[in-house]
Structures are given as structure tokens and as C-alpha cells.
Amino acid sequence: MVNVKKIVSNWTYIFPAMTVLTLILIVPLLFTLWMSFHRMPIGHPPTFTGLSNFVRIFRSPIFYVSLKNTFVYAFPAVAIKAIIGLGVALLLNQKFGGRGILRGLSILPWAIPPFIACVLFWFVYDYRGVGNFILSTLGLKPIHWLGYHYAMPSIILVNIWRGWPFFYLGFLAGLQAIPAELHESAEIDGASSSQRLLFITLPLLKPVFLIVCGLSLMWTMGDFVIPKMMTGGGPVDATLTIPMATYKIAFLMGLNYPLASAYSVSILPIFAILIYFTVKQLE
């Protein structure tokens, strides 16, 4: 009797959260999976079409372009964010005057909502903006930042600018968890500071590194805000990532929900691997 009561009370506390998450995550996820195997002409009941949506996208060059763009967008962005984050974390782990202020300011880009970060970079990338001002100061020719050739690196830069503090925060927490005695004893044994960095600090940061990179890789691959606000996936298809392609097919061009579902479902295996790997690290 007591046991039953306990079980019931356990579940009442967790039940609302589970219901909410099931209704707004699992149900839509299953629905999108279901749609990707169907055809839904307007005014007719949906019909099962097997793999035909997938056959269609696997034959379409746009799919491969958007898949390539998703990787070209995410991998360099994550790598550079990790490098900047690590550098700043190492810098602000040193003791010096003004460190506190710098630590506070370093989370500013992360504190700015992504869509505002995009507005900041609208000004940077305008032909009269600060981007071309910096180029001309360095003696270089002004460029079309959001033109076909530069659009992808430009939006990657926006992602880096807004996202690196996440790595910095993770790495700083990791650095602070390394006991000082380790460094002291290594110093007594005659290890130089670069040796200590290479053989003590970096190996001990590895768990944090894996988690932060895993999370960031997923969020960057799934990023919709920056491509949408900066270029809308254009010019032509220069910044068309999978999330942008899903959006365009579903809401702008064809209103083809099943095909759009197939786009997002086709990238799910990659996310599933990343999610599995990251959740395992987090546990």
C-alpha cells in the first residue's frame, strides 16, 4: 500500500513534464516520420507512397548541395569556436588585473539573442559597414560579404562570434576543476609551461571538450536562425543548409510538407548518432 502510494507520487511529480515533452517533441517527431512516407495532396486524404519522397530527394542535386552546405557550415564553425573558446579560457584562467571584467564581458555575445547577433552583422556586412571599413584599412578591396562567394564564410563568422562563449564557459569550468597540485608537482619535476599544457591541461579537458563539441555540432548543424536572418539560404543556394531547405520546401516554394519532412528525416541518422554519443558523455 505504502509502495503503491510512493510510486503514484513519484509519477505525479514527473508526469506533467513527460506529457509536455511527449506532446511537443515525440508526437511531432513521429508525425514527421510518418509524413515522410506519405503523399498529402491538398484536398485529398494522405496516401502511403513508401520511399518515393526519399527517392526523389536522393535524386535531386539540391539535396546534396544542402547536405554539403550543412557540413561546410557546421564543422569549421565548431572547430574555430573551440579554438577561440579554449584560447580565451586559458587566457582568463591566468591571474591578472581586469580579469574579472573580461570574464564578464566574454559572455556578452552568448547573452545576445541569435537574431540580434544577426542584426549586428547586417551592419558589419553592409557595403558601407564596418567589414569593408576594416578591409580598406588593411589595404584590401571591399567585398560583397553576403554575395555568392563570401556568403558562407560570412555567416559562419556570425555563428562563431555568437557561439564561442559556450566553449569558453565549458573550458573555463573544466580548467578550474583541474587541481593546482598537478601543475605544481609537474613544475617541480621540471616541466615547462607548454609541456604542462600539452600533457596535463589538454588531456584533462578531453571529457568537457567532447561534450561541448557534441552539443555545439548538433546545434550548429540544426541552426536555422543565422541562415534565415542573414541570407535566407541564398544567394541562389550558397547557404542553403538542411534546416533552410526544409523551411523553403515546406513554407516558401512547394508547400510540400511530406517532401520537407523527408529532408529533415534524411539527416536524422546523423543527429541520432551525435545525440547518442553526447547523451552518453553527459550521463
Partner 1 sequence: MQKGYVRKPLLAIFSILLLLWIFIPVYWIIKTSFAPEVEVWSMGIPKNPTLQNFKDIFVVPRGAMAEVAGTYLSISPTIVTPLINTLFVAGIAVGLTMLVSTIAAYNLSRFSYKGKNLISCYILFAYVFPPFILMVPMTIILSNVGMFDKLTGLAVVHLAYTVPFATFMLRGYFLGIPRELEEVAMVDGCSRLQALLKIVLPLAAPGLAAVAIFSFVLSWGDVIFSTVLLNTTENYTLPIHIGFFLWGGEIVDPGRLAATAILAGMMPAVLYLGIQKFVRMGLVAGAVKG
Subset of 42-71 contacting partner 1 (CB under 8 A): none
Nearest CA to 172 out of 81, 93, 282, 79 is that of 93
> Is 75 among the residues that bind partner 1 (CB under 8 A)?
no
Phi-psi region of 43 (alpha: psi -120 to 50; beta: other; left: phi over 0): left
From 52-60, 119-127, 181-189, 196-204, span contacting partner 1 (CB under 8 A): 119-127
List 8, 21, 202, 273, residue binding partner 1 (CB under 8 A): 21
Distance CA 241, CA 166 (A): 22
The CA-atom distances, in angstroms, between 44 and each of 36, 39, 71, 239 are 17, 10, 37, 35
Residue 183: Cβ-neighbour burial (10 angstroms; 0-12, 13-18, 19+) = middle
- Of the candidates 88, 89, 152, 156, which one interacts with partner 1 according to CB under 8 A? 88
Separation in Å, CA 22 to CA 17, 19, 30, 278:
8, 5, 10, 21
# of chain residues touching partner 1 (CB under 8 A): 93
**Which range of residues in 47-55, 59-67, 122-130, 182-190 is near partner 1 by CB under 8 A?**
122-130
Choose between 28 and 50: whose C-beta lies nearer to partner 1.
Answer: 28
Which residue from 128, 138, 181, 188 is in contact with partner 1, where contact means CB under 8 A? 128
Q: Which of 8, 83, 130, 198 binds partner 1 (CB under 8 A)?
A: 130
DSSP one-letter code for 93: T
The region of 47-55, 179-187, 194-202, 250-258 touching partner 1 under the rule CB under 8 A is 250-258
Q: Which of residues 131-190 bind partner 1 (CB under 8 A)?
A: 133-134, 146, 161, 166, 169-170, 172-174, 177
Q: How far is the CB of 200 from partner 1 (least distance, A)?
A: 18
Q: Does 194 bind partner 1 (CB under 8 A)?
A: no
The reply on whether position 273 binds partner 1 by CB under 8 A is no
Q: Does position 86 bind partner 1 by CB under 8 A?
A: no
Between 73 and 166, CB nearer to partner 1: 166
Binding partner 1 (rule: CB under 8 A), the pick from 77, 82, 212, 240 is 212
Query: From CA 168, how far away is CA 89, in angstroms rounded?
Result: 5
Count of alpha carbons within 13 Å of 195, Cβ hemisphere only? 11
Let me know the angle formed at the C-alpha of 23 by 18 and 24, rounded to the nearest 5 degrees. Answer: 105
Amino acid letter, 221: M
Binding test (CB under 8 A) with partner 1, winner from 106, 154, 159, 201: 106
Any residues with CB less than 8 A from the CB of 33 and at least 6 apart, and which? 261, 265
Q: Which listed residue (155, 221, 238, 240) binds partner 1 by CB under 8 A?
A: 221
Query: What SS3 class is residue 16?
Result: helix
Q: Which of 2, 4, 9, 181 binds partner 1 (CB under 8 A)?
A: 9
| 73 touches 154 (CB < 8 A) | no
Q: Which stretch binds partner 1 (CB under 8 A): 71-79, 182-190, 194-202, 268-276?
A: 268-276
Nearer to partner 1, 62 or 120 (CB): 120
